[in-house]
Amino acid sequence: MEAARCVTFGQYLRPHFYLLLLIFLRNGPHTVEGVWPLPQTFTSSIERSPLSPEAFYFEYGSQSAAQQGCSVLDAAFTRYFPLIFPDYTGNGVLRFYADKPFRLVITVDRDDCESYPNEDSSERYNLSVSARQASLNAETVWGALRGLETFSQLVYQDDFGSYFVNKTEIVDFPRFQFRGILLDTSRHYLPVKTILQTLDAMAYSKFNVFHWHIVDDPSFPYQSRTYPDLSSKGAFHPMTHIYTQSDVRRVISHARLWGIRVLPEFDSPGHTASWGKGQSDLLTPCYRGSSLSGTFGPVNPVLPSTYQFMARLFKEVSSVFPDSHIHLGGDEVNFSCWSSNPDIRAFMKKMGFGVDFTKLEAFYMENIVNITSALNKTAIVWQDVFDYHELRSSLSVVEVWKGGCYLCEVRRVAKAGLRVILASPWYLDQPGPTHNWARFYTVWPLAFKGTEEQKKLVIGGEVCMWGEYVDATNLTPRLWPRASAAAERLWSDEKQTSSADKAFPRFQDLRCKLVRRGIRAEPLYVGHCKHEYQGV
């Protein structure tokens, strides 16, 4: 009697097999929606390999210049495992496929494991995915990081939660070398945790420069060793709303492990109201008629003490921030205070500037550029400095930010033989519906009349997130996924990515990947993600 109730495993499985087959046929073997930003060359087939988190290995190739102990890649393997297998908790799970090992073999040509990414770092990589193995080859660890991100986006799950990756061949490299995001931490303080999460999200879209607009008129949160009063008197709060030296090191270290440069900006002579609270005699006293008005304007460009202060401050900044570039600002200088001050007017007359205050600003910026050049830093300035600067030989990199015919300005800068960063079309701080992402996508940075040599001077572009209406509560959804539209424009081949309509399914897929990775990316339209945002 008992024996009659026994059912073999095969007998049990047989009626369920047809249900499984029906689900398999309906959902079928499929490819992932795609990779964002789109690789330069990308071929994929329906032939796929199952992946098991318990039988998946990162390996250094035998010919790789970097081996175990490489800080950048060892950390990347630890980070990417849960991104490749987001549901894996470490417990054994019943699979329909035997857990045969799958190896991702990484080979890099140079051991730059302990260095920082720079403006010349190669991010080129080749990725070949076949049965039971993937090969990732790159010139540098920074290229390997980009390839790891691509591999993580190729992995997908079926309806049973099993992981797969399709046979794929990719050759990839960025179209532009400078692909940045600006965060403004003066108008609203952003906690370090928020900055670090933004760096994570940047890497998911292959951004490689964090432009840290760290100080401005409202507050001076950078805690200087040389001039501690700048933050103790100029920050919103001297203890809670500052970035200590340790905080800055943490941001730089985190960025390095993602292959992201940290570009600090200390904007002057305008946008410096907070500086004056902790440094007397730095700002220009304004006059009403022949009397002091009690207010202050831009940095005072006529005093030797100004340049002594700047030299000491930038010496410190240059030692704290390892990048070879520094952003000196130079935008939106209000000349009314300068013109009201009799000492400034006397200096103008002595220098033969007449009443042309753009010449005074050029004189000031020339001195600041010389200070940073002596510290082996290459200066980046906003376009205002180029517009006002007759002696352009001292300038190197100009960032175009104004609206109107911004490509006209790009052309003028390139024609002068200077490198250009384009920011004008990518100001994301103003609230706007996510469905306007296409206007950030359909930007053509090189659509100006110029020679090939001039177009090569356009080194990239930048998404700007100014802080008037942005803090930690709304930064992430305002930035993502719209910033990723700019990311693809700056990375991918323009001809292959000219249609926003064709890109939309991949963009939706990216948005859902960001959400699953804990990034509060706004929805693009009506719909759902298989894995909705679970954070609080």
Helix (H) or strand (E) holding 517: none
Query: What amino acid positions are annotated as catalytic residues?
Result: 332
Q: What residue type is assigned to position 267 of the chain?
A: D
| Cβ proximity of 214 and 186 under 8 Å | yes
Residue with tokens 């079926």: 158
| Strand duo 156-157 + 133-138: pairing | unpaired
- For residue 220, what are the contacts with CB-CB under 8 A and spacing of at least 6? 186, 230, 231, 234, 235, 274, 275, 277, 278
Q: How far is CA 73 from CA 64, 111, 141, 157, 419, in A?
A: 12, 11, 7, 25, 32
Q: Which two tokens stand for residue 510?
A: 């990216």
- Chain centroid to Cα 41, Å, comes to 23
For residues 456-490, b (16+ Cβ closer than 10 Å) or e, as one string? Answer: ebbebbbbbbbbeebeeeebbebbbbbbbbbbbbb
DSSP states of 33-77: S--SSPPSEEEEEEEEEEE-GGGEEEEE-TT-SS-TT-HHHHHHH
Q: What is the DSSP string of 151-173?
A: HHHH-EE-TTS-EEEEEEEEEE-
Residue 157 CB-density burial (10 A; 0-12 exposed, 13-18 middle, 19+ buried): middle
Separation between Cα atoms, residue 443 and residue 436, nearest integer Å: 13
Cβ neighbourhood burial of 518 (10 Å; 0-12, 13-18, 19+):
middle
Amino acid at 406: Y
3-class state of residue 216 by DSSP: coil
Token pair of 191 as six digits: 């906690």
End-to-end CA distance of the chain: 56
φ, ψ for residue 40, nearest 5 deg: -65, -45
Q: What is the DSSP letter of 427?
A: B
β partners of residue 97: none
- Token code pair at residue 133: 């193995």
Measured distance CA(236)–CA(228) in Å, rounded: 14
Q: Considering Cα of 384, then 389, then 392, then 396, what sign does the dihedral take?
A: negative
